[in-house]
């Protein structure tokens, strides 16, 4: 018997339904401050906007992207008249009224909406960077053996960051913070503690970034020009140096979910740090800045030489998006594909690892029978997203146990289309205590011999090693 990796899954993922009012308001009842919220209008409402809207704390709550199209992100507070999520709160999110006073996005009067909410790194990440001093046109600080010195750091407000100066190269070079690169104005000490002598065991400088802290600069207190800028972000995320490209990461290692932003190089097969501390089994990635860029999906059951797109009905295909390299517990790889690595383009990635009793990236083969395939997850799924990746094209499907509270589970949404919720017993599944079972013969779910991938989140572990032969 395996045991659940987290004791209260609803503190890491939760589904919240609400009815629109047509007036700016706050949605509460999520149970935590969301780091990633995905919203969809369930029923068509005149004048409403029926796209899937994805928001996260790393890009900033008001930055809207849609899983059903290829557009670049839009800030609903400045670039879209009809509003949308404008902020995340301790128990939900606030809906911002657009520049015309409209709240059509996610809050049209009488509209029915579903929001799916995930917790990533939360409000107070704690991260340690190993500091070394290298000779690079003069002495410079370098973090976690990253290939570039004196980089610009991203430090999240509320986060605690320990700069470990135990390495002998730090001798004589105490790392301190200032409000100016030339150290004019004196040392910044708010939330800063130090310990030991740089170059000796146990030496560190630690900062807990205060709310509304100014832009800071890390420098040696004894010498000039060794450091760089430290952005104190009102958005979330922290610098990650595990890959060949510096990334900005908000990671929930307990729940196996991270949000990763990076800037493409347009060449080679660079690696990106994801912060999970476990191998991601599924990655959903999109350019923030490029129009006509696809939502590119990696799934472990397909391998790193295969691609499937969240915004498309198409099957999986061979491609270079993932550099033909399987992710590791610290990084994923990208190729030179336009959708994952265009020079100077910005990207966002949502990374998911399997966690016993909570999340599963799996696959099954259809059997074409109304008493269909059973997919074992090891927990009762509360959210299931899947897609056929063989043969003819079909939509993605998405079910949850809040819109449907009993079997048959029939209320389906499709991430690749603006379509309203479809309630159809001929395209149904059953949700059980240890997985889900196809209860239809529709090719979208259960075509005989075809492969289907899925991502599921759940609420309890009941399983053992008794896994049906048709499930993975």
pLDDT tens digits, 387-410? 999 988 899 999 999 999 999 999
Say yes or no: 183 and 247 in one domain: no
CA distance 366 to 471: 10
Residue 406 and residue 346 in one domain: no
The answer to whether residues 56 and 93 belong to one domain is yes
The pair of structure tokens assigned to 416 is: 């690749």
Tens digit of pLDDT for each residue in 404-441? 999 999 999 999 999 999 999 889 999 999 999 999 99
Task: Identify whether 401 is part of a domain.
Answer: yes
Can you give the pLDDT at residue 101? 67
Asked if residue 80 has pLDDT above 90, the reply is no
**Number of independent structural domains in the chain:** 4
The answer to whether 49 and 41 are in contact (CB under 8 A) is yes
Q: Is 70 exposed, middle or buried (0-12, 13-18, 19+ CB in 10 A)?
A: middle
Looking at the domain assignment, is residue 160 inside a domain? Answer: yes
Rounded-to-integer distance, Cα 163 and Cα 459, Å: 37
| Whether the predicted pLDDT of 30 surpasses 90 | yes
The domain boundary residue, chosen from 204, 235, 266: 235
Angstrom distance (rounded) from CA 362 to CA 453? 6
CB atoms inside a 10 Å sphere around CB 186: 9
Using CB atoms within 10 A of its CB, is residue 279 exposed (0-12), middle (13-18) or buried (19+)?
middle
Q: Distance between CA atoms of 176 and 183, rounded to whole angstroms?
A: 10
CB 426 within 8 A of CB 407: no
Q: Which of 235, 258, 292 is the last residue of a domain?
A: 235
- Based on the fold, state whether residues 104 and 141 are members of the same structural domain: no
| Of residues 472, 467, 469, 457, the one with CA closest to residue 9 | 457
Domain boundary among 83, 98, 118: 118
pLDDT value at residue 472? 34
Q: Are 16 and 44 within one domain?
A: yes
What is the pTM (predicted TM-score) of this model? 0.95
Q: What is the phi/psi pair of residue 111, to 5°?
A: -70, 145
Q: Give the integer Cα–Cα distance in Å for 10 and 459.
A: 7
* 169 belongs to a structural domain: yes
Same domain (yes/no): 268, 313: yes
Share of the chain above pLDDT 90, in %: 83
Whether the Cβ atoms of residue 360 and residue 386 lie closer than 8 Å to each other = no
Are residues 267 and 331 located together in one domain of the fold? yes
Range of lowest pLDDT (83-97, 207-221, 451-465): 451-465
Structure token digits, residue 164: 């470990």
User: Does residue 357 surpass a pLDDT of 80?
Assistant: yes
Per-residue confidence (pLDDT) for residue 186, from 0 to 100: 94
More reliable by pLDDT, 468 or 25 = 25
- 273 within domain boundaries: yes
Tell me, yes or no, whether 405 and 437 share the same domain.
yes
Residues written for the chain: 472
- 368 belongs to a structural domain: yes
The answer to whether residue 81 scores a pLDDT higher than 80 is no
Q: Is residue 197 part of a domain?
A: yes
Residue 202 belongs to some domain of the structure? yes
Distance CA 466, CA 2 (A): 12
* Angstrom distance (rounded) from CA 399 to CA 445: 12
Cis amide leading into 240 (omega within 30): no
Does a structural domain hold residue 404?
Answer: yes
Q: Do residues 173 and 131 share a domain?
A: yes
- pLDDT (average), residues 222-229: 97
Give the whole-angstrom CA distance, residue 159 versus residue 228.
19
Q: Which domain holds residue 310?
A: 239-352
pLDDT band at 105 (very low <50, low <70, confident <90, very high): confident
Query: Tokens for 453?
Result: 């991938």
- Spacing of C-alpha 135 from chain mean position: 36
Given a cut of 90, whether residue 91 has pLDDT beyond it is yes
Same domain, yes or no, for 392 and 446?
Answer: yes
């Amino acid at each position: 018997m395996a045991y659940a990796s987290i004791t209260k899954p609803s503190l890491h993922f939760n589904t919240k339904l609400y009815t629109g009012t047509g007036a700016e308001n706050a949605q509460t009842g999520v149970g935590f401050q969301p780091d990633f919220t995905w919203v969809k209008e369930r029923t068509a409402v005149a004048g409403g906007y029926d796209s899937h809207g994805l928001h996260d704390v790393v890009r900033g709550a008001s930055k809207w992207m849609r899983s059903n199209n290829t557009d670049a992100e839009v800030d609903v507070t400045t670039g879209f008249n009809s509003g949308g999520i404008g902020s995340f709160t301790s128990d939900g999110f606030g809906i911002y009224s657009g520049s015309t006073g409209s709240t059509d996005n996610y809050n049209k009067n009488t509209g029915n909406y579903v929001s799916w909410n995930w917790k990533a790194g939360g409000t107070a990440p704690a991260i340690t960077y190993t500091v070394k001093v290298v000779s690079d046109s003069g002495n410079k600080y370098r973090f976690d053996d990253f290939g570039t010195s004196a980089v610009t750091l991203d430090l999240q407000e509320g986060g605690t960051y320990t700069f470990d100066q135990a390495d002998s190269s730090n001798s004589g070079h105490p790392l301190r913070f200032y409000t100016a690169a030339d150290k004019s104005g004196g040392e910044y000490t708010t939330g800063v503690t130090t310990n030991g002598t740089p170059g000796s065991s146990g030496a560190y400088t630690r900062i807990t970034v205060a709310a509304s802290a100014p832009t800071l600069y890390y420098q040696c207190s004894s010498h000039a020009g060794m450091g760089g800028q430290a952005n104190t972000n009102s958005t979330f995320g922290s610098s990650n140096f595990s890959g060949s490209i510096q990334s900005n990461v908000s990671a929930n290692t307990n729940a196996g979910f991270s949000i990763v932003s990076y800037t493409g190089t347009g060449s080679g097969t660079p690696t990106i740090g994801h912060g999970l501390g476990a191998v991601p089994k599924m990655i959903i990635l999109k350019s923030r800045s490029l129009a006509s860029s696809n939502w590119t999906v990696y799934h472990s059951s397909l391998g790193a030489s295969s691609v499937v797109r969240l915004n498309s009905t198409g099957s999986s295909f061979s491609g270079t998006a993932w550099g033909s390299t399987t992710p590791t517990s610290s990084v994923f790889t990208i190729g030179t594909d336009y959708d994952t690595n265009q020079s100077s383009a910005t990207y966002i990635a949502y990374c998911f690892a399997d966690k016993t009793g909570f999340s599963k990236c799996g696959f099954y083969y259809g059997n074409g029978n109304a008493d269909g395939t059973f997919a074992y997850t090891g927990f009762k799924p509360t959210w299931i997203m899947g897609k056929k990746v063989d043969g003819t094209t079909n939509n993605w499907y998405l079910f949850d146990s809040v819109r449907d509270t009993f079997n048959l589970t029939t209320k389906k949404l499709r991430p690749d289309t603006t379509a309203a919720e479809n309630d159809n017993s001929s395209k149904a599944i059953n949700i059980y205590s240890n997985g889900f079972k196809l209860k239809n013969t529709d090719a979208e779910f259960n075509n005989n011999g075809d492969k289907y991938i899925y991502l599921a989140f759940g609420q309890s572990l009941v399983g053992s090693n008794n896994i049906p032969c048709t499930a993975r």
